[in-house]
Amino acid sequence: MAKRKIGVLTGGGDAPGLNAVIYGLVRACTETMDCELIGYKFGYKGLYNNEFMPLTRETTSGILHRGGTILGSSNKDNLFDYAVEENGVKVKKNVAHVAVENMKKEDVDVLCVLGGDGTLTSARDFARMGVNVVGVPKTIDNDLSATDTTFGFDTAVNIVVENLGRLHTTAESHHRVMVVEVMGRNAGWIALQSGIAGSADVILLPEIPYSLDKVIDKINERNANGKPFTVIVVTEGAMEQGGQVVVGKVVADSPDPIRHGGIGAKIASDLEGKVVNEIRSCALGHIQRGGETSAFDRVLSVRYAIKAAELIEKNQFGNMVCLSNGQMNSVSLENVIGMNKYVTAEHELVRVARNLGISFGV
């Protein structure tokens, strides 16, 4: 009997823990099921172009701790709405059948997809076409409601906390207000947890529109209490009451064309002249995605990998692995797409922050 062959791809933005999932999949699937694995390069683009590499103990040796993904990734290649050139003109077409034929050509029996909402939407659509698909959730934003925690989130929070510590010392030395912009898009989880752990004075979230006057009140309160410096952590998708999200740029050929960015600089500009402190802003950006994966995310990632291997072994396809009440489980891909998890004003961590004296600008 021929070995079962598994194709693996990583789509969307990179996240610490992707390599750890690949590492775990290779070991679980080769040791316990005697499978062959290949990795498609640059997400669905590699599946379309049939570009892949062997995934073996040798090719994945030493990657458990590494950030990023050895397979490369892309957040622009939706094969159900893919840009191709016809008669010198670029048009969008459904080319998913090409990917299916490529899998058949290479005798790939199962497709294991590591990605966020957009990547998993395509995974669901491939499952609807009859492809044996298993999904693994990935986003540093931690905004997928179907799972308690996504890998990469803990690493991102740790990176922000480390940088807040560095910025805290310069803010205190110069009596400055430091506005630190972090990732998360429309979900404030990174800002909330890193703000608490990093001793922020103000945390501004997309889910809780802020009042600039309330932020000023907090700065003035600290000045009056002998703390003439303030650290503000703000999610890139945060907005002022009655205002709009700040758009950094628009990427026209992306399925998610709106790129947030610039809210930190806007807040710094808005505060100029309204408080006695000097104001500085800092956008941490992709620093939050890079470097070594945290110990927590390494363990979480291999747990996801082992559960994914279990689903493959049991032929439980069309599902995504998830963490539910601390235990590894699975949920249908049909029930995870577009189901996002956001901070609420009543969330326990918001109450914790308020009790620590942290302001949310309201």
- Residues with catalytic roles: 141
Q: Which residue has the tokens 């693996």?
A: 8
Q: Which one, of 204, 189, 78, 80, lies nearest residue 139 by Cα?
A: 189
Handedness of CA 211, 215, 218, 223 (dihedral sign): negative
Helix (H) or strand (E) run with residue 101 in it: helix 96-105
Q: Which residues of 89-122 are buried (b: 16+ CB within 10 A; e: fewer)?
A: eeeeeebbebbbebbeeeebbbbbbbbbbbbbbb
Phi, psi of 5 (to 5 degrees): -120, 130
Say how far apart CA 115 and CA 180 lie, in whole Å: 27
Gap between the Cα atoms of 275 and 271, Å rounded: 7
Write phi, then psi, for 228 (nearest 5 degrees): -80, 45
Helices (H), 239-360: 263-271, 295-313, 348-355
How would you classify the pairing of strands 258-260 and 278-283? unpaired
